[in-house]
Amino acid sequence: MVLVYSTPWCAFCHAVKQYLDSKGVKYTDKDIEKDPAAAKEAVDKSGQMGVPVIDIGGTIIIGFNREQLDLVLRDQKLV
């Protein structure tokens, strides 16, 4: 399962979602501005307040790091 914690105004959040879409990876987007519980989850998982926070099967990636995303997606057999 892939979760993306994001905000509507975050350019890197949009870039992550576009990248996952381009790879055909299904994900659940959690808008931390509309959902306080999701905001708390993101902070609890990442230890910081920034977005995007990506949770791929329990592996946490902070920000749009294409190399790390590709590595974890391959490890989790999602691409």
Which string of DSSP letters, residue by residue, matches 1-33?
-EEEEE-TT-HHHHHHHHHHHHHT---EEEETT
pLDDT band (50, 70, 90) for residue 12: very high
Phi-psi domain of 58 (left: phi exceeds 0; alpha: psi -120 through 50; beta: other): left
Question: Whole-prediction pTM value?
Answer: 0.94
Residue 37's pLDDT is what?
Answer: 97
d(CA 79, CA 63): 20
Residue 44's pLDDT is what?
Answer: 96
Q: Could you give the domains of the chain?
A: 2-75 (3.40.30.10)
CA atoms 50, 6, 4, 39: torsion sign: positive
Residue 36's pLDDT is what?
Answer: 95
